Structure 1
């Protein structure tokens, strides 16, 4: 027997050689190449040997992309090989081309993510791993029925960027392996292209009606297109075919609603076509879908991993992925420099610890120093209004770079104590898009906000947590005056932590009296750590009794550091038994330093007991 086929093909040999050499250069075995290309191992093995015959268009396309080879050149070799071996199929009538020759983004699948995670082989944008949901079962059944010879139509209905188009793309992949074609009518307009060529659609074709409102909702051609699609589906001579479409809910409602008595009926044929053939796509991932996405992320899917870290809106994963590229473009290429300044002020606020809801007055006053002198001179009286309007424009998934929001009111059980709940900020508040927040945390990490940011924070922010976080950030960036003013502002709004930090600063500056006053204010606001600070101050001043009283108060409030300090005080006063009891209590509450105190004491005792001495050198009985 001979290894070569009966009909030798130089083009096929060249095709096999180029594929196999590229595989070897990439260091891949056939199993690994199958995984990278999404093909079966048997399919890859046949493509790399002359005995396997001429590989399909889809196989050559996938292998070329996986190996970063020029697709067009290899497809030309494949065509020549098919002609030389006499295996070239007869021309398939009708519009479209093999599914394997389409890129998903050519079919309007939204690009996902940015940066290295979104970069695929050959410069083609990568897709995140796919998570199957309920509607995928309906699509899979329709594709299987079409493969077995029964024409069908499914129109997915869902809001923007919920994964409708991607679901259709995944559904047709089994048909690609069977040599099906795909036709996406769009030139010169979608409606004109569909009406012109629907009569030419041949068997084993997917008709791709993404954003079906452009076809079925067209005022001039919509009803005729619906009639032509219906005729295609029932024509056995032209089947099997599979028609896939997507719609937003508002369009589906308009097309399927019954007309009012006596009124017009502009969508009668469309309504008949869609009856029983629509399937809903949910806005969010349910628990099972989130678990599947998490598993894909854990296995190395960087795009899904990034989306999951940003998902604060109840599983809006696909919207996040679809909106990211446009959000980044809107930040990097704004129409107005002031819009970028507002975004950067918001990014800095979030990364330095300000809460989700950013007051408009704060952002507006923070923005000017983010502008160059030239851009600042171009500001008009209504610059802020225009910039906020620009940033409110939504991208895919109905997310805006900076959107106005309404905080939910806190709802806590009633208590007999005085209500100390912070009042919500006055005036409008805004929320930064999750992706831009994440982007800012990475790209702006080494940057210190300008003076207008700190001034606006001191002027407009009132929540103690926000002020304390910014004070810490200012201190770490050597903006010490702003750190002091922000902490004082937080203290004015009742922050115990701010009083405590100010007390430490006063003590460090040698103002013992001022430090004690501030520490007492912190203690009055419930800061038990301030009691320990006061105890240390009293002990340093020689007031041992006052120090113990304060430390016991802190210990009574559950402060284990206070127990440790009391143990040390008792030890110093010669009350070894009381010291050991307090140290044990501290250790029982998780204070590991107290364990060391106990261990040191036991070590001393073990050395002195043989000599009949206590730790202080006095006689002791065993």
Structure 2
């Protein structure tokens, strides 16, 4: 009891001490501090008084911000101070239970070994720490210190990702943290429903995060909710841990194609910089550690090492992968056909639970003619029984599952008359390891006709069908894509209905387009009401268009009203536009009127814009007041402008001030934008100056940007120093650029190392340049050491260049060798270049394989070029195969060209090749059949 009270007293004393020290350092009395913090004088006095109670979280947060102290750390000290006298934290709201109450297998840690320990619990092997564990441990330490963190481990199936997360959170169990695993009724629904309720000191467990972030209905909203949780200074600390397979991580973080859809915007923002790779195999150090544990009496590790030591795939062995692989390879032909159908379904991203009817009908074309002829009447029953037997006490290759039926109340996205389809009949799930095996071994194969036919006949989830439409188009199987899209539309796919409606619009069939859009709207897609409104506008039915916009607003979608208002404004119907804008404001959204005001200003109608801003004051407050103030000031009404400025400042909304800087810039009011940016800087937000400088630079006003960057730098925005260096360099003022880069580096702007190194290299100071390149590399600029390789090569130090390139490769960057090979190739030394490319390729560089394939083709070795191009595609780079097709076509080798283009299509890249897959449309205008033959005309 005494120790707990003492700990609590120490925390409160440290909290007050840090606040008081910062106040004294800033030379602020308590009255001035209260004003800066937006608190009462008595509140501040009580918070700092040594004999008072613990201040509120809001008080601590406000004081921390005013004194420029880390908010999270001070809030964590406050939480420690309010712990109960027995040392346990006060009741913390939110989902989850203490970490110590969880059993690891409940959290999907793979079982290992055939049996249980004496207590009846399944045993875990000893744990071997690897590099990713260091990152996890650091995140756990920071979370324990009060800073919310997220780490997502990315690795193949059964590589130890979930176990690593379980080991990492154990120190938090002693600090009375709890853990929440959103799971029921579905993972995505559970996460979306309760993420906002998560309390402090909670581990959010997002194992197999594709279930959350990949959910088409909820994924983006879940990512946004996780981001909010991590940035909520008063709600933390929390620790978010997730796991993903590499293909999911690649899918979520890939940038969209130009003008293409971007379904994972928020997920990509959340994951970038927060993923950690988990290797497939133990390295030498990890194997040595595992051996010590085995020799110390760990029977599970000792058993695994007898089989997996050479390949280092210890975790996969523990999870039962070898037995699964053996059963797959030795399966009877009908059972293997079912597994191939399931593998293809999962690698084409069909849902985890696969209907038995689908698998049974998909299997026949996976059989040879002889095997098909030998099928018995009960072949399917026997094959399912064969695959359902659990192997080695753990997993079955294809196991029966019973998904929970969805019993959610109907809402705007699920009307009563359009319920979500429920899974019909028996469902099966493919073992994770076999799924991963299928992705790697079958990636070059297009599923046969029976697969597509079974999908069309038996799959009922519109999301699954939407995915297969894309996969069919990626493989240039256009006829199947067409029929699957219609099937998806009939089952309620809004995406399919939307695409089909657009197709009808393209051929001027407005009646059918409107019918399809209405069906999508009936399914709860309010965005599609804008398309319907456009059709009504085109038919001169403005009243009908307005009604549709009102419907959208009634359902909470104000964007339709706003977009329609802007459309009317652009058409010159100012009165109609304003009416729609007011209607949106009446519904609670001022966006339409605000955009109209900006459009009027941009068009030079400042009087009308001023009238709209006046109407907006009650809705958007400071934003409209600042805009009005600028307009009044511009026309010479200084007194009126100052009054409005004061009213806007009274809102204490500096974000609004920064937003209006952008507004003034967007309407071409550079003078107003600069004045407001300077006002924001004076009020403590100099980032407004920097943001405006970036915009001004993008507009081409280098002189104006230069001045704004200097002002921002004078206000402490050190990033502006780097931008000034860039501008000076572009202006050929290399001395000035170097000075700004050096000053930026001194202030911790690490991206300045690289351009500074380039300048020193150009100046002939190779030694200083190399040092700067190395420092750039230490701070995350991967090209830094590659430039050192270039530097050594140009200085004639070939041995040093090769040695460094190999060091890069050994440290996981094989592109250093590729880079050096390219340098040698440009000087005509193709033999040395090819040797370096091959060394890089052996270390997994797709970049090197691209170069090698080109060199082999130039040498006339087309067979080797094809093999290398296929290897590059296996590493995610399909360009070499496509380029081989183009070069064969250019050489007049039509059969060779078709051969390579068909491979690209079979591997799922037909739509992603420049220019937009036009080569495939030229060769096969009606698409390809599943077997690769041209599809006869069918449209």
TM-score, scaled relative to structure 2: 0.31
TM-score, scaled relative to structure 1: 0.45
The structure with the largest helix share of the pair is 2
Higher relative contact order (CA 8 A, sep 6+): 1
Q: Which has the larger radius of gyration?
A: 1
